Amino acid sequence: METSELIRLHRLAMKRRHLSEGSIDKRISALRRLAEHLAPAGLLEPSSEDIESYLDTLPLQARSRYTYLSHLHCFYGWAIDNGHAGSDPTLQIVRPKCPPGQPRPIGDVDLKLALELAAPPAAVILACAAYAGMRCCEIARLSRGDIDTAGEGHIWAHGKGGKSRQIPLHPALAQALAAHGIPRTGPLLRRADGRPMPAWLVSQTANAYLHGLSIDATAHQLRHWFGTNLYRTSRHNLLLVRDLMGHANITTTTIYAASDREGAHQAVAAMRPGLAAAS
């Protein structure tokens, strides 16, 4: 079967599973890059050594290499299940060890400056990321029906795997939305020609704005700021942080708990023999 047809069928299968467009695009991009490297051989012909040699040509850190292998493994698993392939060449490849993730929140001073100087649409993008913990793909999906300014207000984020979550509307985010202008219907963010703003452009808009202020941060680091600070302001309510950030696994959320070392020195210095028993 031709490579283009294999990729088309695999994309269709992912759509039928209701995977997000972002996930599908990343998988397809990984397959196309591998196909270009293998040409004129096809995607079903490489050995484990061929794939590993290909990965060695890419400037990948451990986590990115792990993700890339996962994309290829899912493709070959699908190909086997549907009778297109007889084996998965990625099974013999040892996955790299990935160090535990750490949140990288934008600094308070940089965030304050960025929010004060931002104008629409960057202002609303930054506010959604910092005050609602939204991913760029979720910000791109925002529409009029996802925003409720009545009472205390809330905003709906539509995340990975088609899962949605309700997030309390921070006053600063409500102000940014009002300044941007909430449409009567349809998408919140649009291009100049009226088309919805895609996730890549949301990310590019925010990152270009931050870098224009000489702030070494990305839009996703504002989401990290949300998670880190929510963990503290919620009095270490890990389940609440998980729910509002839309994590599928609470193990991901514990990264924000592990990073909170505020008061660690005082806590260690305060330990005394018999203190635990006395309390």
In tens digits, the chain (279 residues) has pLDDT values of: 899 999 999 999 999 988 877 788 889 999 999 999 999 999 999 999 999 999 999 988 888 899 999 999 999 999 999 999 999 999 999 988 877 678 889 999 999 999 999 999 999 999 999 999 999 999 999 999 999 999 889 999 998 777 899 999 999 999 999 999 999 999 999 999 999 999 989 999 999 999 999 999 999 999 999 999 999 899 889 999 999 999 988 888 988 877 777 777 776 777 777 655 544
Q: What is residue 33's predicted lDDT score, i.e. its pLDDT?
A: 94
Q: The sheet that has 154-158: what strands, in order across it?
A: 147-148, 154-158, 164-168
Give Dmax (Cα) for the chain. 74
Phi, psi dihedrals of residue 157, rounded to the nearest 5°: -110, 130
pLDDT value at position 274? Answer: 66
DSSP classification of residue 202: H
Look up residue 19 and give its two tokens.
Answer: 């995977």
**If you ran DSSP here, which 8-state letter would residue 162 be given?**
G
Domains plus CATH for the chain? 3-81 (1.10.150), 108-223 (1.10.443.10)
- Cβ pair 230, 223 in contact under 8 A: no
Q: Is 226 in contact with 239 (CB distance < 8 Å)?
A: no
pTM score over 0.85: no
User: Residue 170: what pLDDT?
Assistant: 95
DSSP 157: E
